[in-house]
Amino acid sequence: MNKGNALIAALLGVVIGICAALVYFSATDDRKFDGDYSRWRKLNLILQQIEENYVDTIDVEAMTDAAVEAALHELDPHSVYLPPVELKESETELAGNFEGIGIQFNVPNDTAIVLSVISGGPSEKAGLLQGDRILKVDDRVIAGVKMPQDSMVMLMKGPSGSKVNITVSRDGTDIPFEIVRDRIPLNSVDAAFMLNDTTGYIRLSKFSRTTYTEFHKASEKLLSEGMKRLVFDIRDNSGGYLDQALLLSNEFLRKGDMIVYMEGLHRSREEFKADGKGSLQDIGLSVLISEASASSSEIFAGAIQDNDRGVIVGRRSFGKGLVQEPVNFTDGSGIRLTVSRFYTPSGRCIQKPYTSDYDYDIIERYSHGEMTDADSIRIDRSVEYHTVSGRKVYGGGGIVPDIFVPIDTTLATGFYVQCNKKAEQMRFASAMFDRYRDRLSEIDDFDELKEYLSGLDLGRRFLEYAAEDGIVPKTGEWEKTEPYLMPQLNALVGRYSKLDDEAFYRFYIEIDDTIRTAVDNPSSVR
């Protein structure tokens, strides 16, 4: 049992004990519960009695929060209470921007290394450079103290206009910077480029407030480069704002095509249909999904699948078919309350069952073989639904792809596993950047980057680097691991160029079976 659940259980135990005593000693009290649960009267009576009679001083805020969390816990897994700090973080994540210093960093060796400096942001204006190692934030040492990465982020974030002192190490010299925080854009489109002469690729990490604007800009760029079909990657995209999913679906569908409809006990049916003004109605489409694609990602994938507008490639999606409505309070806290279910155009709700191991469903999929064998996919086949062309589809557990792509476990040698445990690849990439910073930092063309990295003999250098750390492949392991590991090394080192994430994904697609499958199985426009 985690600390939160233990606290709730303890508090509820106190409540129950007090209630029993009060019932025993106040059997004739005219405030005793009359059995009417419909207006939450029992809960109000209990809290009132605690406030008036409990032996010690009560932390009313903690007591209230615990009661709220316990009540919501009796509902579905997605109706949650968010204290002020968590609510702010949640809203910031989806707002499309945050307030901070404007850098991206990795922590390969217990020290934060600046991966990129956001153009026009506070850190660039102050003079921070890619490759700087962050030693201190104000007076707090963060290097070499095993500080969690999210704690580092929280130290650097802050309201616009506030100042923070960042001390970095650059070429062996400690340099202090005073940085004035500002509003920083958060991109939801991670990469957008052409896979070949006619096929474009866009990777979307979340559905934030700026998603449609970013996507539209990216698709216009690819159209100008000759895109006739699109591989749209929403793997591991856990969702976000509903309206952004509707806008993106509208880009591909014909006028009158159903995107999604919703209804609940206190919400009448609401339908959302395409208006026929989308700019990508004649573009071939493949949508990539995974077990971590959820919510708005599933709305989009369901709309495309049920309208036979494109082909869905990958593995069964998460299975979240519920819609939450925010209710915020004046103290900065709030709840996300499930108010309706969403249904794909064919009428299926893809919400998976609320089992006791709901949070561990993905692990369960591994254990029963679903991640490697399509025949092991567990879905509710008791009710059949049909796409517009009559194809059978099913609800009750996520979007099942039209083309299944298993996880490839054959390349996980002992050498590769050891490297992953020590983040060897990431630390090696950082070391390569230290040595070749001047040249890497100026490359902005992928072909040029590819040629440059091929001349660095990264494979040999990595083996030497790993050996210094006590990791040596056994006979035959390197030959088996090399085809899978080298694209990773190129991707991680290439990320330090001006191409940033684009370089990473361009290299990584060489070992991405799902992308290759999508390219080899083009979809047609109905």
The tokens 């901070």 sit on which residue? 100
Of the two residues 214 and 357, the one the predictor is more confident about is: 214
Q: Mean of the per-residue pLDDT values for the chain? A: 87
Q: What is the mean pLDDT of residues 273-282?
A: 97
Single out the residue in 359, 390, 407 at which a domain terminates.
407
Strands 284-289 and 229-233: parallel
| pLDDT bucket at 14, cuts 50 / 70 / 90 | very low
- Whether residue 80 lies inside any domain: the answer is no
User: Given 306, 308, 402, 500, which residue is catalytic?
Assistant: 306
Residues 171 and 194 in one domain: no
Buried b (16+ CB within 10 A) or exposed e, 123-156: bbebebebbbbbbbbeeeebbeeebeeeebeebb
Single out the residue in 185, 209, 236 at which a domain terminates.
185
Which segments of 234-298 are extended strands (E)?
258-264, 267-273, 284-289
User: Given 206, 273, 320, 352, which residue is catalytic?
Assistant: 320
Q: How far is CA 254 from CA 64, 129, 277, 304, 313, in A?
A: 49, 47, 8, 11, 22
What is the rounded radius of gyration, in angstroms, for the C-alpha atoms of the chain? 27
Given strand 311-314, what is the order of strands in its sheet?
A: 189-194, 199-204, 229-233, 284-289, 311-314, 403-404
Of the two residues 500 and 1, the one the predictor is more confident about is: 500
Distance separating alpha carbons of residues 417 and 503, to the nearest angstrom = 24
Lowest mean pLDDT across 293-307, 352-366, 396-410, 463-477: 352-366
Distance separating alpha carbons of residues 246 and 366, to the nearest angstrom = 32
Residues 321 and 428 in one domain: no
Residue 375 is a catalytic residue: no
Lowest mean pLDDT across 261-270, 325-334, 387-396, 476-485: 325-334
pLDDT at 332: 86
Residues 233 and 322 in one domain: yes
pLDDT at 20: 43
pLDDT at 457: 95
**Tokens for 348?**
């299926």
Residues 255 and 216 in one domain: yes
Residues 149 and 106 in one domain: yes
pLDDT single digits (tens) 30-49: 455 566 666 677 888 888 88
| pLDDT bucket at 260, cuts 50 / 70 / 90 | very high
Of the two residues 308 and 422, the one the predictor is more confident about is: 308
pLDDT at 165: 93
Strands 334-343 and 385-386: unpaired
Q: What is the mean pLDDT of residues 404-409?
A: 89
Residues 215 and 318 in one domain: yes
pLDDT at 449: 96
Closest among 292, 288, 205, 211 to 248, alpha carbons compared: 211
pLDDT at residue 23 tops 80: no
- Whether residue 526 lies inside any domain: the answer is no
Residues 181 and 239 in one domain: no
Strands 403-404 and 311-314: parallel
- Whether residue 521 lies inside any domain: the answer is no
Q: What is the mean pLDDT of residues 142-161?
A: 88
Residues β-bridged to residue 166? 137, 177
pLDDT at 35: 60
User: Given 208, 293, 295, 346, which residue is catalytic?
Assistant: 295
Of the two residues 299 and 159, the one the predictor is more confident about is: 299
pLDDT at 443: 95
- Whether residue 520 lies inside any domain: the answer is no
| CATH (domain of 361) | 3.90.226.10
| CATH (domain of 163) | 2.30.42.10
Residue 320 is a catalytic residue: yes
Residues 143 and 243 in one domain: no
Distance separating alpha carbons of residues 501 and 280, to the nearest angstrom = 25
Highest mean predicted confidence (pLDDT) among 83-92, 157-166, 354-363: 157-166
Residues 178 and 265 in one domain: no
Residues 293 and 392 in one domain: yes
For residue 103, the enclosing domain spans 97-185
Three-state SS for 408-461 is CCCCCCHHHHHHHHCCHHHHHHHHHHHHHHHHHCCCCCHHHHHHHHHCCCHHHH
Residue 352 is a catalytic residue: no
Single out the residue in 361, 376, 407 at which a domain terminates.
407
Residues 233 and 378 in one domain: yes
pLDDT at 309: 97
Residues 133 and 251 in one domain: no
pLDDT single digits (tens) 241-250: 999 999 999 9
Distance separating alpha carbons of residues 110 and 209, to the nearest angstrom = 33
**Tokens for 446?**
């992928």
Distance separating alpha carbons of residues 45 and 65, to the nearest angstrom = 17
| pLDDT bucket at 357, cuts 50 / 70 / 90 | confident
Provide the Cα torsion 206, 207, 208, 209; round to 10°.
160
Of the two residues 184 and 392, the one the predictor is more confident about is: 392
pLDDT single digits (tens) 171-200: 888 999 999 998 877 789 999 999 999 999
**Tokens for 429?**
């990439």
Domain total for the chain? Answer: 4
Q: How large a percentage of the chain has pLDDT more than 70?
A: 90
